[in-house]
Structure 1
Amino acid sequence: MSEKSEPSVWQGFKAFLMRGNVIDLAVAVVIGAAFTNIVNSVVKGVINPLIGAFGTQSLDSYSSCLKGPCTGTGDTATGVRILWGSVLGATLTFLITAAVVYFLMVLPMAKYLARMEARRKAKESAVEIIEVTELEVLKEIRDELVAQRGAGPDRP
């Protein structure tokens, strides 16, 4: 390999790492991993006991036997068992995560950005109104000066 290709590859890799979206993505992954523990705690501590009032507290224990008698667990299990309880638990975890992210992060940020955009537009329209008003004032001054000078000999 030539010496020219190594610096360009290294510089390209360095530029890739220094892009803002890579750093943002890394932060999002770390925050997401920490947030997963909170959501799992809510599911295990709040949702599962509520569901447990009607059945068992562990959603993983909900299952149906599709074929044959379902006996045993693990390698000694017989029959075809559908573990729909674990799917329900994962779905609830996803929905709770999505709701928390939406209501605590996305919605407030969208409202904040909308407020900032409205302020920016209001400021721009105020500047336009001021400019129009200044133009009208200058026209009035011009008309007043013309009226004060009068018609004069060379003016109609």
Structure 2
Amino acid sequence: MLKGFKDFIMRGNVIDLAVAVVVGAAFTAVVNSIVENVFNPLIGALFQADDLKNALDIPVGDAEIKLGAVLGAVITFLIVAAVVYFVFVLPINTMKKHAEAKRKAGIVEEEAPVTEIDVLTEIRDLLARNSLKQ
């Protein structure tokens, strides 16, 4: 039982996930700081409030609806989404397109790892050559 747990913990994807969580937490702190210390005061100034959390307050009886706080959350989401797209998704998709184009053109990098498709293609070619000889 302990060996199975050790094998599980030492798998590469578990370690990668742990690193991603730590980096994600640090990334969240940076984005939140930018939104709270740059965007919130700027937008709050547009609405003559000290920050975005106090802007666009709508009194409803004894309570208040804080539209500025919701707007701040939306801005945070959009910034995170933009950074994830432009820093991670776009470059990875671009690299995949270039690799796929090279593969289709028959260009293989010297240090490219051998994939299952490469092995199966080689087996197919060997079988085809052997069937032609017989």
Judge same fold: TM > 0.5, yes or no: yes
Q: Per the alignment, in what secondary structure is the counterpart of residue 53 of structure 1?
A: helix
Match of 2:17 among 25, 48, 66: 25
Structure 1 length normalisation: TM-score? 0.60
Give the percent of matched residue pairs that are identical in Structure 1 and Structure 2: 56
Say if 1:51 and 1:57, in contact at 8 Å, map to a contact too. Answer: no
Alignment-mate amino acid for residue 22 of structure 1 = V
User: Runs of 5+ in structure 2 lacking a partner?
Assistant: 108-134
Q: Per the alignment, in what secondary structure is the counterpart of residue 106 of structure 2?
A: helix
Aligned counterpart, 1:104: 87
Aligned length: 106
Cα-to-partner distance string for 1:97-132 (whole Å, 9 max, x where unaligned) = 1111111111011101111111111116xxxxxxxx
Equivalent positions of 1:2-151 (< 5 A) are 9-55=1-47, 56-62=49-55, 63-66=57-60, 68=61, 79-123=62-106
Cα-to-partner distance string for 1:49-81 (whole Å, 9 max, x where unaligned) = 331331224121132222x2xxxxxxxxxx122
Say if 1:40 and 1:93, in contact at 8 Å, map to a contact too. Answer: yes
- Aligned-residue Cα RMSD (Å) equals 2.0
Alignment-mate amino acid for residue 30 of structure 2 = I
Bigger Rg, which one: 1
Q: Distance in 2 between matches of 1:95 and 1:48?
A: 14
Gap change, CA 1:60 and 1:52, over 3 Å in 2: closer
Dislocated runs of 4+, deviation >4 Å? none
Structure 2 length normalisation: TM-score? 0.69
